[in-house]
Chain A
Amino acid sequence: RKEVEQDPGPFNVPEGATVAFNCTYSNSASQSFFWYRQDCRKEPKLLMSVYSSGNEDGRFTAQLNRASQYISLLIRDSKLSDSATYLCVWNTDKLIFGTGTRLQVFP
């Protein structure tokens, strides 16, 4: 089993919709995660960190559920520009990435 797993999608949603992605992890000792965003043929860039208390940044909310061993990313009021691949990252010295979830927002 991979250490970090994601549904590859694609998630196709209309503008203005709310969409959520989950990422499951296998190591119960994991405490720190990131969400990265990657546009087509570009390098990944940090979207936000994931704290145990939850983290909100504008339309984006990230949460960590230790009991069920998953992290989530919620995007409200989706924009066309949110179309990208979202990567879940387990923050260890090795930085382990999930395979990514593709989001496509349509008009």
Chain B
Amino acid sequence: DAGITQSPRHKVTETGTPVTLRCHQTENHRYMYWYRQDPGHGLRLIHYSYGVKDTDKGEVSDGYSVSRSKTEDFLLTLESATSSQTSVYFCAIRVGSADTEAFFGQGTRLTVV
């Protein structure tokens, strides 16, 4: 158990509303990631963080923002949710340096109606 939890696990929201997903780790791991997974696309990187207040964009960052004000929490915000953001969102952490394996949270299933 790498000590990573995502919340909420399931959410249904309406188009145009803001949504924040939380990824929490119990250790002081430096790297944290947000991915989305959709049929036919695999896991696509949204944003990642390599330290407090240090973040960078991934492949599909449009419509998403992130915040990492403390080591243990990495927040993903959909400023104005759209139906195309209906997906399963996974958070991941690297346990160790930048070349070590990643552990994933259990995922958040988000439906935008």
Interface residues of A (CB under 8 A from B): 6, 8, 32, 34, 42-46, 49, 87, 91, 93-100
Contacts and interface: CB of A to CB of B under 8 A. Distances in A.
Contacts of A45: 104
A95 B104 contact: no
A32 B99 contact: yes
Given A43-B104, A43-B105, A91 B42 contact: no
A43 B50 CA distance: 22
A64 to B, nearest CB: 15
Contacts of B103: 46
A102 B11 CA distance: 27
Interface of B: 31, 33, 35, 40-45, 48, 50, 56, 58, 90, 92, 94, 98-99, 101-107
Nearest to B42: A99
A94 B99 contact: no
Contacts, number: 47
B95 to A, nearest CB: 10
A101 to B, nearest CB: 10
Contacts of B31: 93
Contacts of B90: 43-44
Contacts of A96: 45
Residue among A34, A42, A43 having the largest count of chain B Cβ atoms under 10 Å = A43
B68 to A, nearest CB: 15
A100 B50 CA distance: 26
A44 B45 contact: no
A100 B107 contact: no
A44 B104 contact: yes
Contacts of B92: 95
B50 A44 contact: no
Contact of B35 (A49, A91, A97): A97
Given A34-B101, A95-B33, A97-B35, A87 B58 contact: no
